[in-house]
Amino acid sequence: MKKLILITLMLLGINICAQGAPLTGGVSEVGLGNKVVDAKTNAPISGAQVALPKQGYKTYTDSNGNFNLNTNINDETIMSVQKEGYRPFSITIDKNIAARPMVLGIQKSETMDVLIESEMLHLGDDNFSKASANSGDFKLKATGPAFRKSFMMTANTLAYNNFLVIGSIIGIDTKMARQMRQNSIQNSYSSPPEVFFNGRKIAEIQLNGDNQRIKLPRALIKPDQLNEVIIQTGINLFQRAYTDYDDIELINISIQTE
């Protein structure tokens, strides 16, 4: 399982740093215990909330940025870090990663960043196989096949590159996810989740993982107006009798500028 996590991180452009260096979107074996630091300055961050949504577990970093995970971690699970003034951060961990000291580097938010949703979402129909990717992690009832949210974007954003960022997403059962052994389903696979921005499809998500970044076409942005993002889960392509939605969970959806 550890090998699969590393493969996913590399596919998403997240690097495993050398010992002693903090990560943004990963973990590093340094120090004694776990720590949250500023990704740019390496300064420890106090009062950051560290959560494991599956377990309903929350803790906070101390004055030195340190924290402990006083809960059992067996299967892969999402860990989220939130701190006012910083971009939301999440990563998929397992018991092997949790057993090592972790240094998590989080980035300060930019003025025009937009936090769309920081809570865990479950899309689908609550009809899924135990062989589905990360199905053991599912903790919420499905709210339906799609998530939609409207939000303001200022005219100033047009001078920058804007990205829709999904902190972590699990449960995707596409053909590619099966080929990458992210699930153990043998006889079927699903279409990928689709992402729409202001009514236009801008991406399909083929793999589970962290820090998924989708560039927003500048021509679709409505300056100083409401803009809308829709994330729609896939369907089982081998079920003909009815529409069988792929159950997925995701967390930390935001717009980030560069």
pLDDT single digits (tens) 42-57:
999 999 999 998 888 9
* Residue 162 pLDDT exceeds 80: yes
Q: Where are the alpha helices (DSSP H) in the chain?
A: 2-11, 95-98, 175-179
Q: Phi, psi (5° rounding) for residue 43?
A: -70, 140
Predicted confidence at residue 19, as pLDDT, reads 33
> 74 versus 116: which is more confidently predicted?
116
Domains of the chain from N-terminus onward: 2-106 (2.60.40.1120), 114-257 (2.60.120)
Statement: the pTM of the whole predicted model exceeds 0.85: no
Cβ 209 vs Cβ 9: under 8 Å: yes
Cβ 167 vs Cβ 88: under 8 Å: yes
Predicted confidence at residue 147, as pLDDT, reads 98
Look at the block and give the residue holding tokens 């980030």.
256
pLDDT single digits (tens) 181-191:
888 888 889 99
pLDDT single digits (tens) 106-142:
999 999 999 999 999 999 988 765 555 455 555 567 8
Mean pLDDT, range 7-12, rounded to an integer: 33
Length of the chain as a residue count: 258
Predicted confidence at residue 70, as pLDDT, reads 87
* Residue 197 pLDDT exceeds 90: yes
Specify whether the backbone of 181 is left (phi greater than 0), alpha (psi in -120 to 50) or beta.
left
* Residue 166 pLDDT exceeds 60: yes
